[in-house]
Amino acid sequence: MNVLARTFTVVVALTFAAAPAATMAANATATASAKPVTVDIRNFAFAPKTLTIPAGTRVVWTNRDDEPHLVVSAGHQFASSRALDTSDSYAVTFDHAGTYTYYCGIHPMMVGTVIVQ
């Protein structure tokens, strides 16, 4: 086998070997974007206070306070949570673009916003 044929064989082999890696990287990106986004309820505040997410993202609120909290949509755009005790969580999947303002039904000075793109 001459040098040109050997070089061609190596290039073709490397191309096919790299193809699965590229596919796995694309799948890893898709999986990473499907991960839920978390909002902590801590010190009588939502953290982060404002989220910007792509449509289809699941947001999970978790109460880190010793007091109960309720997640309530200001415009009735999603269902309210039950009272969340310490370490309890509540989740909503946001499928449509828009701005979703919410507050704590027990402590209405606690407010947050989810912006879905």
Give binding residues for Cu cation as ranges.
69, 104, 107
Q: What is the chain's Cα-based Rg?
A: 23
Query: Binding site membership: which residues?
Result: 69, 104, 107
Label each residue of the chain as H, E or C. CCHHHHHHHHHHHHHHHHHHHHHHHHHHHHHHHCCCEEEEEECCEEECCEEEECCCEEEEEEECCCCCECEEECCCCCCCCCCECCCCEEEEEECCCEEEEEEECCCCCCEEEEEEC
